[in-house]
Structure 1
Amino acid sequence: MSTPNRKISFYLKPAHSRADQLADEMLDALPVKARGNASRAAMLAGMALMRQDPRLPHLIAELFDENTTISQIRHLISSIFPDDTTAVVAALRQLTTATTKPDPTAAKESAPATDEPADNAAVARRNAGNLFPT
């Protein structure tokens, strides 16, 4: 007996978060026929990370902005799995060679520190940012 196809749908909220806005822009840049495959691949990649540790996709999603580097993602993963990163680092190195390198001259602007973050997303972004040395 075969398993029927399952339709998955969700909303991106570009006005709500920068990560959603970037994902929306990336999908718009793809040909219409490639969007479904890209969305499916992104979701499956997130589920693979979630199987390893349920926090990973959420942390990476909060970290995601136009300045996110593969080194930051490696550091995040190694902070969760400090003793077992060999396979993950090898896979991320393959991704690094397959993608274009970010412009090294582009400086990352840091948000001014505030005592009271506006919402939980801001707290998560701040905490994720604290994982990485500047």
Structure 2
Amino acid sequence: TSPGLACAAAAAPGAGGAPTVFSRIIARSVPAAILYEDDKCLAFRDVAPQAPVHFLVIPKRPIPRISRVGPQDLLGHLLVVAARTAQAEGLADGYRLVINDGKHGAQSVYHLHLHVLGGRQLGWPPG
């Protein structure tokens, strides 16, 4: 099992409202290479990149999982920010968006996040 899958298997959704690493990045108590920020979201480089370009887009308001998103949530905004940041990062030839959900989806941090990966030809199937 890869270290990422082991982290996902051990992760617990909603551990008593404890702050996640992403909420600590938003609060600036954990450093991150921030690429974009507005009042709704934050985009920053992944600390363990899986492609030459690998960044995350997260909502500032914590939403644990994509499967628990309500109609009021701003998923469209997150997708637009992902696309614009990908363009700014030089991913004109394409990129992949990934959202992991739950244990079997290899979600290791229970704060919704979009992975944007590019900068090389990605394989298929992905997992």
Smaller-chain TM-score range?
under 0.3
Which has the larger strand fraction?
2
Q: TM-score when scaled to structure 1?
A: 0.25
Which has the larger helix fraction?
1
Greater relative contact order (CA < 8 Å, ≥ 6 in sequence):
2
